[in-house]
Amino acid sequence: MKGEWGGAWPDAGSGRHWHEECGVFGAWGCDHAAQLTYYALYALQHRGQESAGIATLDGGEMFHHRGLGLVAEVFGPDDLERLAGKAAVGHVRYSTTGANKLVNAQPMVFDVHGGPLALGHNGNLVNAGVLRRELEGQGSIFQSTSDTEVVAHLIARHRGGSLVDAIEDSLRTVQGAYAFVFLTPDGLVAARDPQGLRPMALGRFGSGWVVASETCAFDTIGAEFVRDIEPGELLVIDAGGVRPVRFAEAARKALCTFEYIYFARPDSDIDGRNVHLVRKAMGKRLAEEAPTEADVVIGVPDSSISAAVGYAEAAGIPYEMGLIKNKYIGRTFIQPSQALRERGVRLKLNAVRKVVEGKRVVMVDDSIVRGTTSRRIVQMLRDAGAREVHVRISSPPVRFPCYYGIDTSAREELLAARLSVEEMTRAIGADSLAFLSEDGMLQALGAGPEAAGRGPGGPGDTFCNACFHGRYPTRLYDDLGKHVMEMAAHRGGYS
């Protein structure tokens, strides 16, 4: 259905989105479920640092605790003690709009159908704005600005059938990217969106079950990976075991490539691929596509180290630790004043002078969004005596915004949306700059050379690459709920 796919429409809904990069976890039938969830959230901390929360269920009663900050800041021993029960859901959240308020922290807990319901969401719903407007028109009162609450209201208004039926129907109504965990008095429910944009996996913990955004959470708690949850699949986990329900047919599988490029932890496997190895393969391809004469290859810590190692190996140039990151800078850290910054106060990242001095350096980073990081690091390397700085980016240029929960900025802020590669090279002050091609990226993902994602049902229909080419795998809506692909129909649709 061509209309489903539409053409590029980079400005859809630009006035109002809720960027939410998050991590979710759920446990059922596990002793000390709250503690288990706490450790799992620790492993998922990279997916969100602004708020954390856990809800547990004990004898039909729901307990929950949420707060702003890192997992370690939000929970004390007493909080975990209070969170009784053998079932839990947990959430870490990162918000980039002004919506970093406690009301938006998750899991959200509601009373629906005469019982408690906790829900946690990773992703972004593209039709949340119009659904919210409709629900408000029908009398729903929202407590938060988060799109997740729309799902709670849809479930609450559902009539007839079980709570699981209500969850299923609500998921058929929302569109976009999600990994959801729901905790109900009868069971744990986990669901992944029909395109599989956001990852989620199922694991075994003793005689109990766990679900998580990333498999690194399973390794951390000693759970055994069972399988990835399928796009459009919902798992009902209760006393009877795990019951899979297909609530939607996947029109096209479209796992977010940015999970591999930047977002996920290198020790996680997503849909059968290890994140570190994919990044390394991207670096290798980049070296083949954009070689350069140099003395040393360095990576921007932490997310680009794997790609830098791959580049170095393929290019036959030594990999070195040329940049060191201070790992102890939290979100609440007091930024140095402009005056101190101008005097050279650099707290987050420092160059290793003895490694780069007098050298021709290849600096590998995973992406350029606004260009700020690259510009600063190029300058830092020059200040530390680097003779030449060649920037190599292990993903294609990001030219379009993401509507599925990864914060890649509004279009006008994206450096690659405004400038050519030559202009970007000057803007970041590098001697040369090159990006991985889209085909190269897909090959590194093992998708095959033909897999350029050119159309529904084609061989490349495995990943979302919309931020690179602007062809989005779902419908997009403007703030009034108008289907922007209809407005964009004259653009010729999917090519």
Q: Minimum distance between the CB of residue 99 and ligand AMP, rounded to whole angstroms? A: 16
Hey, which bits of 96-152 come out as E strands?
108-112, 115-125
Residues 381-420 that bind ligand SF4 (CB under 6 A): 402, 404, 406, 408
The CA distance from 406 to 467, in Å, is 10
- 409 in a known ligand binding site: no
Count of C-beta atoms within a 10 Å radius of residue 286: 29
The CA distance from 75 to 78, in Å, is 8
C-beta of 298 vs 406, nearer to ligand AMP: 406
Q: Minimum distance between the CB of residue 234 and ligand SF4, rounded to whole angstroms? A: 21
Does 429 help bind ligand AMP (rule: CB under 6 A)? no
Residue 54 sits at φ, ψ, to 5 deg, of -135, 140
List, in order, residues 6 or more apart from 52 with CB less than 8 Å away: 41, 66, 67, 69, 70, 71, 74, 75, 90, 91, 92, 93, 105
Residue 467 binds: one of ligand AMP, ligand SF4, none (C-beta under 5 to 8 A by kind) = ligand SF4
Residues 443-472 that bind ligand SF4 (CB under 6 A): 464-467
Does 258 help bind ligand SF4 (rule: CB under 6 A)? yes
30 is catalytic: no
**DSSP letters along 28-88, please?**
ES-TTHHHHHHHHHHHTGGG--SEEEEEEEETTEEEEEEEES-HHHH--HHHHHHS-SSEE
- 30 in a known ligand binding site: no
Residues 299-358 that bind ligand AMP (CB under 6 A): 300, 303
Binding residues with ligand AMP: total (CB under 6 A): 16
List, in order, residues 6 or more apart from 9 with CB less than 8 Å away: 470, 472, 476, 484, 485, 487, 488, 491
How many DSSP H helices and E strands does the chain contain?
Answer: 19, 23
Q: Minimum distance between the CB of residue 12 and ligand SF4, rounded to whole angstroms? A: 12
Q: Tell which one of 368, 389, 451, 488 touches ligand AMP (CB under 6 A).
A: 368
- 216 in a known ligand binding site: no
Using DSSP's 3-state secondary structure scheme, residue 103 falls into helix
Residue of 8, 12, 22, 406 with catalytic role: 22
Q: Minimum distance between the CB of residue 12 and ligand AMP, rounded to whole angstroms? A: 19
C-beta of 106 vs 257, nearer to ligand SF4: 257
- 11 in a known ligand binding site: no
Quick one: DSSP state of residue 335? Answer: P
Does 24 help bind ligand SF4 (rule: CB under 6 A)? no
Given the rule CB under 6 A, which residues bind ligand SF4? 197, 256-258, 402, 404, 406, 408, 464-467
Given the rule CB under 6 A, which residues bind ligand AMP? 262, 300, 303, 365-374, 406-408
Q: Which residues are annotated as a binding site for Mg(2+)?
A: 303, 365-366
Catalytic residues: 22
